[in-house]
Structure 1
Amino acid sequence: MSLPNPSRLARAVQLSLLLALPAAAAAQQPAPASPAEAATRTLDAVQVTGTRIRRAELEGQVPVHTLSRQDIERTGLTSIGDVVQQLTGSGSALNTKFNSSGNFGFPPDGSGVGAGSAQVDLRHLGAKRVLVLVDGIRWVNESSASGVGAATDLNTIPLAIVDRIEVLEDGASSLYGSDAIAGVVNIITRRDFDGGQVTLDYGRFGEGDGTSKGADFAWGRTTERSSLFLALSHTEQDAVYARDREQSRFPVPGTGVALGSSGTPTGRFWITDPNTGVTLDITPNTGNSAPVYDPTQTGCDRTDGFHCFGAADRFNFAEYNLLMTPSERTGVFGQFRFDITPNLQWYAKALYNRRESTNQAAPEPIFLGPEAGTGNPLADEITISARNPYNPFGFDLVSGESLIMIGRRPVEGGARVFEQKVDTQYFNTGLVGSFDVGNAIWFWDVNAAWSRNKARQANYGSYNIHNIALALGDPDACAAVAGCVPLNIFGGPGTITPEMLAWIQPVVRDESQNELSLVSANLSGDLFRLPGGHVAFAAGYEYRKYEGWYQPDPLTVRGHYNGVPSLPTSGEYDVNEVFVELEVPIFGEGAWGKGLDLSLAGRYSDYSTFGGEFTPKYGLRWQVSDDFLLRATYAEGFRAPSIGELYGSDSRFDAQLRDPCSEPFLDPSVEGNCRALGVPAGYAQPNPQISVTTGGNRELEPERARSFTTGFVWSPWFANGTSWAERFDFEVTYYRHDIQGPIQALSAQAQLDLCVQTLSAEYCDGIGRAATGGINAFNNRLTNLGSIKTDGWDVDLYWTTPDTAAGRFAFAWQNSFVGRYEAIGGAGQRQPRRPGIEVEDSAIPEWTSTASLDWTRNAWNASWAVRHISDLVEDCGDAVSFPVCRNPEDGTNRLGSTTYHDVQLGYRFDWMQGLTLTAGVNNVFEKEPPICLSCSLNGYDASTYDIPGGRFWYVRADLRF
């Protein structure tokens, strides 16, 4: 039994649209309608009495995009994250196309690498600035197994439980508190359900790989006083290997191994012979597993089993990478509601979800010496004994003296494999009620929720640098330690024996956890009536507690891990919040139109970490006529520092950086500065992979934001209810976001470039160089930088025809245009990201567009969707001399505009309550993503384009009973 008069609640919360009031969802079920109430229609999860724009798709105070279950099923996708990332307003975010372990290490915000997760980024402001709700309640942030996340992993929410997804593309801190700077994603779960449903999915790429299969089961029962819904979901996604696609077989497409790694299976040895003073950069000849160094051969014309290291000797690491990472997800969900009295309802819901995913990287290289730049003294300051039985040089290799760098990749140990197991638990319960005050009905609810996300990661194929150093040192010291055997890094592949591997290759296990507890209470109703209508009111209180920790393997904590090091992180904080909202009708129908409403909202948040913060929001909604609406909002917002950002301990990530002091890229204008920094003439950077140290900052302040939107919705009278259009709506929205003091580290490449250009301590402090000139230390810490400013336009068109002999057609065309995006550092330096530019594995296209045409006729249905991404420009970097760089004269490469076509066809059989069979193909014309020279993953931008290229076909069977 539904709560009475749900439309009164809807009117009271019309401003918020997605207000976090579970009471709204509970109160919005259909009740027996009077003729007047029959005009009420559901609009973006809020019922609005007396629609002012006839059949308009959107007519609230703020722009909300709603994805129905039909919209979701039309995509053929099995992840909420993948679905939301196709919205035109979405930016670059992690997904299963990111093979994001290995050298990626630890981002400065302490979140770790969310390997296997799927996040959402709105307006290109970052996933941590988007708030994710489930039925209006905050969802727990992810734990990545390598840090304490600040964003939500949408792969923790099974797609089978989703009724619809509502995306609020506007700043909303006054409504929801922290994190809602860029917008809100509210996932509405399925609830009122009678009977059962079984859905089976199967799909794969035309090349025969990347198989995806899933099975969902849903069952529900609704009685006069109660409703029960249960769902079980299981999804499997197989891997796609980079070696199986022409474009991704090499580190940078079109360059072969020339831009591969200098850590090779045969080994690269950059040494200075202490007897002759000659410096050599040599590698063993292919097939020579026991070269004998001849000190009399001081050049590259050698007969001792070595030759000078060149581009052809570099290692092709790409063939070990994954284009699509395998993932297996299993979720169980249930919710129960019971009407204790006609005006009081109790509900409870629970979820458990397990995600198992895998990432893979090339066999881990061992870099030793000052030019290795690992930041680990066990590697950078190593001494390799002349008494090591495999040392062919006959003298001690002393770091900084006779040893400049060694790069050896033990392919004998196999690829690095990172396996994640992520468990999510969620429980939510509460009471929803109503009461009469005079002639008005007021609604209230109280809620309690607890959620936890715990991740465990096992890393196979990495090395123990402490044991490596011991095995390369004095053989007597090695013999004194149980299990230690001398290590051969000087021969070619196959010379590292199983006994050697047993000593140097452990299994590294990391864990992390995020936990969220909250209670809230809300009240809403009509205060009094003005000539233009009722003044609606909503107020509430919320308490939240966040707890998070990250525990790396003891080997990592001791500093013995050869890969990316890190230390434990742990922290917690809580927040108390109160909010109030008012909707004031300034005037009703008259000479100035159909009505003008003023919306006011404010929220005060008291954080245990930094104190209080007040965020207001103001909105105007002017119904000019039956078919034209103007609206505008101004909001202030904030984002509190996350646990990782506050308490993250020292860790490291490996960045792909180009040293401006390196030949052949040295600009003569900064040559003097390079010499002042200790870089000798003729220095050539041996490895673009530079280890960057990062960590949290307990002195961080919240980010503060101002957001503004304005626009109109037009539903012309001549195009509604006609023979050719049942509904025709046109919507235009302008948005602007201004974030002050964004929490981030200065771009590492920008910091390095500015250091060389200015020699300023502001940029150079923390960047260290070895005596050879190479960077051997790079400290890149979190801080509150200058600002992020972005603006743009959304232009959307919706057209639905009436039923005809040919069927019913629905056309939707959605467009996002980014006019400006600029990120400014604390000292006024502009960061590299901006519209139309591909940089740092992500892009901000100037125009993204999605058009879809749906057709239904009797038992048949079909759809055709077109997704377009405008062209981009990138810096060719080290590939500037190769033909794959399209504009070598200015060192840039153009990533051409890309358009994908998706089709789907379905038929419904009248068997039981209905059997629907659906088949579809995504990327019908096999459009390949454009080659990205600056991207560090397989020559693709995995967050902007469909990867891998090629057709993906799928079939689905949906049986209701």
Structure 2
Amino acid sequence: MPTETSASARTAMRGAWIFIFSPVCSRRWCPSCAAMSADAAIGMARRVVQRRCACCRGLRRPRQRYRIHARLKPLRRRHFQSGFVIASNAPAPRRRTPPRHANNRGFSRCVVAGDAPRIAVMFRGSVPAGPPCDRNVPGPGAAYSGVAMRSAGARRRARKRDNAVLRDRSPSPQCLPAEPRRATGRRTMMSKHPQQPQHRRLAVAVFMALAVPAAALAASAAHAQQAAPDAASGQLDAGDVARTLDKVEVTGSRIKRTAVEGPSPVVVITSEDIRKQGYSTVAETLQTLTQFNGDVVGGEFNASSTQPDAAFLNLRGLGVGYQLILLNGKRMTEYAASSGAASTGVSVGSIPAVVVERIEVLNGGASAIYGSDAVAGVVNIVTRDNWEGNHLRVRGGTTTRGGGDTGQFQFSGGKAWDRGSVTYAFEQLNREPIFSWQRGNIIRTGMNAPGNAGSNRPTFGLDTALMDAGYNDYYWLGSDGRLLYAGDVDPATATAALEHTCRSLGRNYFPMYGSASAARPYACGNANYYDGDTLANKHDKTSAYVSGHFRFNDALEGYGQLLVQRSRSEAAHRTSMYLYNAGNAHDVDIGQFEYWRALDPNDIGGAPMRVWDETTISANAGVRGTLGARLDWDASVSLSRDEMKSSWKQLMTDRVHRYLFGEALGEVDGAPLYRIDPSVLFGPITPQQYASMVDTIRNRNLSQTLQAQFVLDGALFALPAGDAEMASVFEASHSKYELRPDRRSLGTYTGADRTFNHTGVSGGGPRDRYGAGVEFRIPLLQRVVANVAGRWDTYDDISDVGDAITWQASLEWRPFDNLLLRASRQTSFMAPNIMWLYGEPVTNYDDYITNYYLCRRDGLDLTTTAGLAQCGADHHESAWYVEGGNNRRLHEETATSNGLGIVWDVTDRLSLSADYWEITLKGKSQYLDTATLMSENASCLLGKRVDGTPVDPNSGACAVYLAYVQRDAAGKVTGYFLDAINQAGVRTKGVDASLKYAWSGGRFGDFSLNAGYSRTLGYDVQVAAGDPWQDYMGCSYSATYSCGNQPLAFRSRSNWTLGWNRGDWSASLYGYRNGARVNYQASAQLPSYVQWNASLSKKITGNVRLGVDVTNLFDRYGPRDTSMTWYPFYQNIYGIQGRAVYVNLDVDF
């Protein structure tokens, strides 16, 4: 007999969440079960399932019979006001189409009747009461689990009442398939989108239901057998629903929770977002995020000759190593190349776009959860998993100014079955280089004419000159073929005299002046010297990826991912021959000398190409399961490896000497003695002659991290406001770093065949790390949740780093369903860069040192561009220096960060968020550069800075700067030492804001707007303890206003995406703005820069889509900086690509 539903029970249902569970009938939909108290919700579920599910239409194909294909998008359009959604805790293989945003994503949910998988029909709002349900009828809706009451007591009473009615009920055999229970892949996700009162919250609920960890579903065999009858009869209450369907793991915490927004702000970029922005790579997308406001190597396209494929990130302007980079929640190893003896970091250039499902950026410290490096935040790149179907994408395009031709081929797909799934992907990316000559109109327009360098204006080329060791004057080639001492030449005829020398060198050489006020030229410049340089390297990348999971039994599941990428990068760089004046060459007539020679790439057969072959491997394998009914466990081992081999044609010392100077006549103080032939020194060099002076050198670098991890998480006990939950983690890892250059390039190599004008960077060593942490999530009140975490880490290496203990505390308060207030405070730490610990000392020669001490002592005003130009002309020096070495004095850096934020869902379609953040970093490691050292050394010697600010010569900072520079009695630099030091501290603060809005234009389509904004409110540096804090907000690369290696690039950044969909058409307009920044000499502000990207696509057939992308729509370049007086005469943070047009073809099958 039907069971009557009382009026009081119906009243209690109003305004509550109602969950209805059922197995899926294998033959037919049982219509009589729709007649129950929530018949409106069931009716909607029935219509959707009958429309999508093959079994409801009587189809009996094995794989279609048990699947319900219910896309979220149609539900949202149709049921916004009712708040209806369908969720499932069964596996979620994807549709053939790529996933859209988490709140607008197509899902295909496999639901199999049996002991665990169920459909959850949720209806929020006033539920219209209907006819009572006949619970004796099996099939969908046969078991009503109860109402999710607001109080725990109400839930317990409802559960007890329902259990009494449903006890010992079993479904009819005709509605249950004889199929085993499906395994569910555990997945980690985080989303920046706040908990929404209606359709957004429901979309999140669906997504969380599909991403439920496998450990929660892979219960022990005994528990599964015990639960099977109850599950089959639908015995699951609303409290259990919240536990099994609505909880996911959000990066920044290992505890799964129901709310997407938490105590720290999170930005999510999906694979669809990358395509909408018009980009081909992960790095291009990440580097336009508003929070990444620091300078990095690479920029738009990397043209580095030492880190050719590096794509670093710089969150909050702290540096490339101050954000933790994860791949599927596991650490990535550092990039296997360094820039000189300076630091390196984790590069995202090895992650192909085809494998990315989403990228999650946590803004805030998280060392208490993840350990070292998570100072400014965490970037978690989540790869595809549990897909079904195949997708093919072909993309091709080029820049409108030439160069940068790009071809991209992507294939991805997967297969799912009852006990597991496999996902695979392949990508081939080929990108041609951009040469300097292809952007000559950009880097030369407005420059001074040949023959005059001007004041703080770029010159066209590098000089060719012969001078004595004392740097007193130059020697030219006289008309009689003999050396001509430039000091004896009448200034009135100097230009004509030098023109003869320049013509003898070859084409495109011209006389150069040291400054606009110089009375006569001093050397020969070459207008084509930079033409063969690559502004963007050539890249060829091949990537392969596979992932999967397999359920061994009801209690155990295995999983794994493997990503392999092989890439080749090629770059061309100018060739120069410098023979330095430190006793390495003598002439019988002029004594010790120095020789400079700039080679025209057109004369030597083109600029020589350098080649880097890189292989990256990321592997992860593990098993997971449950302990009882409350705890989940996960044990895994991961490997991240980056190996790089490089080679190029390098000038060799013995061959250069033999060609330029002939055979040595003897030695002077251990240095060779020659009789110089002026016709050779100042004569043209053919490709054959150049080839006789070079040989191939080969280098090998390796970076590798092996990590083991065990995680235990779940509910501990019940509190009045909910369950108290915990998560614990135990980690151990072994890392090693190796730099193995060609032995002939080492500074310690003394053979005659050593490399000329090139010193390789060597070093390497191991590091072991151990860590353990625990965190708790405690509901203090119904709408107030506290989170606390603590972690211990220890490092085993040659540094002074010992144990590090970090903690974190945060609070979430939801006064209303659509409003979240959050606050957090945490400590973080960062271990010293491994390259700074194990890098071998490198002896180099700096041919251009500006002696700021002598300039200021002579009364030059270095706050003006004219004074700086005169300083460079009057006090240009050369010196040997030692760079790097095993710096065991470095200790860990510690940080404290705070955050306050608000997330407000104004309406169903409008969401706003704002967050304030501040970070105080102590003991920040800073690698000294020449300009910083010389500027600070001068200030310490004179007792004040260039702006008059007093400096204490006895301070800790001055003790370092004075010890690192050696001078003679006249004040000239005789040598200096560059090293990494622990500064006293850095403190920075700022705000982030975001807006999300969606609206319908009726027959004109649907529109969406996402916008973000970040502004740094302060950036101060304290060099040594007790020193005053210095404002670095307006500093640049200039030596007089130096910020070290990575100054803050922009005070403010913003981006926005406007989307449009109408039928088969879709379009997006993406833009970002970089705020104003100071120029190189810190003498003026450079204006802001805005770039627009546009995308348009149309579905040609049911599974084919054709699209066009245009990046840098208006062909804009960064603002010109006339105070930057050397090539390439622009700030590389802006890039040089210009407008690019791409055509895309997407096919699903």
TM-score bracket, shorter-length normalisation? 0.7 to 0.9
Could you say which residue in structure 1 is the equivalent of 2:1066? 861
Higher relative contact order (CA 8 A, sep 6+): 1
Mapped partners of 2:887, 2:794: distance in 1: 20
Could you say which residue in structure 1 is the equivalent of 2:1011? 813
After TM superposition, the structure 1 = structure 2 runs for residues 302-451 of structure 1, keeping only pairs within 5 Å, are 310-311=513-514, 313-316=524-527, 317-369=529-581, 380-386=582-588, 395-398=589-592, 403=593, 405-411=594-600, 413=604, 415-437=607-629, 441-451=630-640
What SS is found at the alignment partner of 1:155?
coil
Q: Tell whether the 8 Å contact from 2:784 to 2:814 is kept in structure 1 after alignment.
A: yes
What SS is found at the alignment partner of 1:805?
helix
Output one character per residue of 1:663-721: Cα deviation in whole Å (capped at 9) or x when no partner: 699535999xxxxxxxx9997244799967233412210111111111100112xx22x
Match of 1:537 among 698, 722, 726: 726
Q: Which residue identity does 1:703 align to in structure 2?
A: E
Could you say which residue in structure 2 is the equivalent of 1:238? 432
Could you say which residue in structure 1 is the equivalent of 2:911? 729
**Distance 1:247-1:834 versus aligned 2 partners, 3 A rule:** farther
Match of 2:920 among 724, 738, 748: 738
- Structure 1 position 84 matched with structure 2 position 286: yes
Output one character per residue of 1:118-158: Cα deviation in whole Å (capped at 9) or x when no partner: 11111111111111111111112110277796421212111
Q: Tell whether the 8 Å contact from 1:93 to 1:127 is kept in structure 2 after alignment.
A: yes
What SS is found at the alignment partner of 2:978?
coil
Could you say which residue in structure 1 is the equivalent of 2:1119? 930
- Structure 1 position 571 matched with structure 2 position 765: yes
Deviates more, 1:639-648 or 1:925-934: 925-934
Deviates more, 1:215-224 or 1:554-563: 554-563
How far apart are 1:753 and its partner, in Å?
1.7
Could you say which residue in structure 1 is the equivalent of 2:318? 125
- Structure 1 position 621 matched with structure 2 position 812: yes
Match of 2:465 among 268, 287, 290: 268
What SS is found at the alignment partner of 1:245?
helix
After TM superposition, the structure 1 = structure 2 runs for residues 434-833 of structure 1, keeping only pairs within 5 Å, are 434-437=626-629, 441-464=630-653, 468=657, 472=661, 475-476=664-665, 491=680, 494-496=683-685, 501=690, 504-557=693-746, 558=749, 560-588=754-782, 595-609=783-797, 610-651=801-842, 658-661=850-853, 667=859, 684-686=874-876, 693-716=883-906, 719-720=907-908, 727-759=909-941, 762-768=960-966, 775-802=973-1000, 804-826=1002-1024, 828=1027, 833=1032
- Structure 1 position 140 matched with structure 2 position 339: no
Alpha-carbon RMSD = 4.1
Deviates more, 1:183-192 or 1:504-513: 504-513
Mapped partners of 1:14, 1:163: distance in 2: 10
**Distance 1:457-1:486 versus aligned 2 partners, 3 A rule:** farther
Q: Which residue identity does 2:1066 align to in structure 1?
A: N
Q: Which residue identity does 1:436 align to in structure 2?
A: G
Deviates more, 1:498-507 or 1:512-521: 498-507
Deviates more, 1:829-838 or 1:744-753: 829-838
**Distance 1:419-1:824 versus aligned 2 partners, 3 A rule:** farther
Could you say which residue in structure 1 is the equivalent of 2:61? none
Quick one: percent identity of the two aligned structures? 22
TM-score calculated relative to the size of structure 2? 0.69
Could you say which residue in structure 2 is the equivalent of 1:953? 1141
**Distance 1:807-1:489 versus aligned 2 partners, 3 A rule:** farther
Q: Tell whether the 8 Å contact from 1:178 to 1:638 is kept in structure 2 after alignment.
A: yes
**Distance 1:464-1:832 versus aligned 2 partners, 3 A rule:** farther
Q: Tell whether the 8 Å contact from 1:145 to 1:511 is kept in structure 2 after alignment.
A: no
What SS is found at the alignment partner of 1:545?
strand
After TM superposition, the structure 1 = structure 2 runs for residues 278-297 of structure 1, keeping only pairs within 5 Å, are 279-284=472-477, 290-293=481-484, 297=488
Match of 2:394 among 159, 180, 200: 200
Deviates more, 1:116-125 or 1:501-510: 501-510
Deviates more, 1:772-781 or 1:119-128: 772-781
Mapped partners of 1:529, 1:96: distance in 2: 51
What SS is found at the alignment partner of 2:772?
strand
How far apart are 1:29 and its partner, in Å?
9.7
Q: Which residue identity does 1:834 align to in structure 2?
A: M
What SS is found at the alignment partner of 2:628?
strand
Q: Tell whether the 8 Å contact from 1:363 to 1:461 is kept in structure 2 after alignment.
A: no
What SS is found at the alignment partner of 2:931?
helix
Q: Which residue identity does 1:799 align to in structure 2?
A: Y
Q: Tell whether the 8 Å contact from 1:198 to 1:960 is kept in structure 2 after alignment.
A: yes
Mapped partners of 1:293, 1:329: distance in 2: 53
How far apart are 1:788 and its partner, in Å?
1.3
What SS is found at the alignment partner of 2:407?
strand
How far apart are 1:164 and its partner, in Å?
0.5
Could you say which residue in structure 1 is the equivalent of 2:1053? 848
How far apart are 1:293 and its partner, in Å?
3.1
Q: Tell whether the 8 Å contact from 1:90 to 1:124 is kept in structure 2 after alignment.
A: yes
Q: Which residue identity does 2:932 align to in structure 1?
A: A
Q: Which residue identity does 1:208 align to in structure 2?
A: G
- Structure of greater Rg: 2
**Distance 1:262-1:794 versus aligned 2 partners, 3 A rule:** closer
Output one character per residue of 1:446-505: Cα deviation in whole Å (capped at 9) or x when no partner: 001122111112132444379638963763469xxxxx9998676466544667645642
Q: Tell whether the 8 Å contact from 2:642 to 2:702 is kept in structure 1 after alignment.
A: yes
**Distance 1:217-1:282 versus aligned 2 partners, 3 A rule:** same
Mapped partners of 1:688, 1:873: distance in 2: 29
Mapped partners of 2:1132, 2:217: distance in 1: 41
How far apart are 1:409 and its partner, in Å?
2.2
Could you say which residue in structure 2 is the equivalent of 1:884? none
Mapped partners of 1:867, 1:295: distance in 2: 53
Q: Which structure 1 segments of 5+ residues have no match?
A: 53-57, 103-112, 370-379, 387-394, 479-483, 589-594, 672-679, 721-726, 877-890
What SS is found at the alignment partner of 1:699?
coil
**Distance 1:189-1:681 versus aligned 2 partners, 3 A rule:** closer
Q: Tell whether the 8 Å contact from 2:423 to 2:547 is kept in structure 1 after alignment.
A: yes
Mapped partners of 1:178, 1:255: distance in 2: 52
**Distance 1:419-1:50 versus aligned 2 partners, 3 A rule:** closer
Deviates more, 1:203-212 or 1:171-180: 203-212
Could you say which residue in structure 2 is the equivalent of 1:160? 354
Q: Tell whether the 8 Å contact from 1:852 to 1:864 is kept in structure 2 after alignment.
A: yes
**Distance 1:2-1:455 versus aligned 2 partners, 3 A rule:** same
How far apart are 1:228 and its partner, in Å?
0.5
Mapped partners of 2:191, 2:996: distance in 1: 23
Q: Which residue identity does 1:227 align to in structure 2?
A: S
Deviates more, 1:327-336 or 1:556-565: 556-565
What SS is found at the alignment partner of 1:141?
coil
Output one character per residue of 1:84-121: Cα deviation in whole Å (capped at 9) or x when no partner: 1010001322226466545xxxxxxxxxx422211111
Output one character per residue of 1:338-362: Cα deviation in whole Å (capped at 9) or x when no partner: 0112332101221211121122221
Q: Tell whether the 8 Å contact from 1:364 to 1:416 is kept in structure 2 after alignment.
A: no
Output one character per residue of 1:42-82: Cα deviation in whole Å (capped at 9) or x when no partner: 79679999977xxxxx6211110000111111122122111
How far apart are 1:567 and its partner, in Å?
4.7
What SS is found at the alignment partner of 1:154?
coil
Output one character per residue of 1:548-600: Cα deviation in whole Å (capped at 9) or x when no partner: 11011111111633334245202001011111010011111xxxxxx111101
Q: Tell whether the 8 Å contact from 1:11 to 1:47 is kept in structure 2 after alignment.
A: no
Q: Which residue identity does 1:120 align to in structure 2?
A: L
Mapped partners of 1:546, 1:740: distance in 2: 25
What SS is found at the alignment partner of 2:261?
coil
**Distance 1:295-1:682 versus aligned 2 partners, 3 A rule:** closer
